[in-house]
Amino acid sequence: MDFIKDIELVAIDALDNWKIDHSEALDWDRIVLLYFNKKLMFIDNTPRDVKVSRKIKSSTYKPDITKALAVIEDKFRKGEDVNPHSTRRLYKSKFTDNLFADWNIRHLHLSTGPHPKDERLLDGTSDLLFLRVTNDTAYFIDVRPHGTFEQIDLLEMAVDEWPGLYLWIPDATRVGRQIGTTGEIVEIKIETPEEIRDLRENRINVLYMIKGKVYVAPGGGIIPAGTLVNATRLHNALFYWRIDLEKCVNDNRPKIDEYLSQFQNYKPEEASFRVGMNEGEFVFFEETSWVGLSKFEGKENARFVWESL
């Protein structure tokens, strides 16, 4: 068993499929962190409901924008790939979307024509669709010009349009205690997009107060190295999940053999335990029988299939 090597090869294969350069990620930690940083910024091909803001519904757009909005909505509902509408920087290894990291808001180009230089993308546009994407719903917030990534009213619009879309807490002093301060929150009045841009570029994660409610890093935040906080969490969880797998195999081999013996072709003396990828997720499986035993669920502890039998 060499789960570290397995995971590294899986991550490299995914990055290669995305055509993302990983030549500067020279060890397991950096390879896996780069993988998760990119995976979180891609939108998976899951059928989703689509909710459109009052602002978009009440606006009149040029025909090409109206057409692109309809195309993107249809793709979301059908679970088709919307990533070609993304920024070309998504495929740059060092790029982290600060808007996504800060507010969990994405932007898509409103084009239906091919990109002249990159087959992975559609052509770029001066107007963008700003949206929030959850596991089951795409929330179309607004259409704005390119470069308008730091307007606080964009977050306010999403919060106002869909109460409950973002997690909030009413007691700001409790946040202060949780993050290790004296229990006091220092209020910084952010008045301009330039101030928000400066905070993001300096990797400073802030709390946002909207209508008396405190929203804590709606996008999860960004670390000083410039990658998503949530990517680091997944990297760390996967590391300990791998340790849990090794311990499970070593401590429960008779039970594993008993479970796998019901499947054709399994021979305990020839067993090969591996970590691979299935439908975009890390999975633990036995290679000779091709039986999956566990799936990485973003948690440190592995949950095994026989536990539910």
**303 has pLDDT over 80:** no
Backbone angles phi, psi at 174, to 5 degrees: -65, -35
Considering only CA atoms, which of 51, 281, 80 is closest in space to residue 158? Answer: 51
Instruction: For residue range 200-225, list pLDDT tens digits in order.
Output: 888 888 878 888 788 877 788 898 88
pLDDT band at 264 (very low <50, low <70, confident <90, very high): confident
Question: For residue 309, what pLDDT is reported?
Answer: 37
9 pLDDT exceeds 70? yes
Helix (H) / strand (E) element for 295: namely: strand 291-295
What does the domain layout of the chain look like in residue ranges? 1-41+224-309, 42-219
Distance CA(287)–CA(222), nearest Å, equals: 37
Confidence of residue 5 (pLDDT cuts 50, 70, 90): very high
- With bands split at pLDDT 50, 70 and 90, how would you rate the model's confidence at 228? very high
Q: Can you tell me the distance from the alpha carbon of 106 to that of 72, in angstroms, rounded to the nearest whole number?
A: 13
Query: Within a 10 A sphere around the Cβ of 210, how many other Cβ atoms?
Result: 16
When the pLDDT of each residue in the chain is averaged and rounded to a whole number, the result is: 87
Instruction: Quick: pLDDT tens for 171-191.
Output: 655 554 444 444 455 566 776
DSSP category for residue 269: G
Task: Return d(Cα 252, Cα 2) in angstroms, integer.
Answer: 18
Give the pLDDT confidence of 95-140 residue by residue, as tens digits: 999 999 999 999 999 998 888 888 888 888 899 999 999 999 999 9
3-state SS, residue 168: coil
Q: What is the pLDDT of residues 16-40, one digit of tens each?
A: 999 999 999 889 999 999 999 999 9
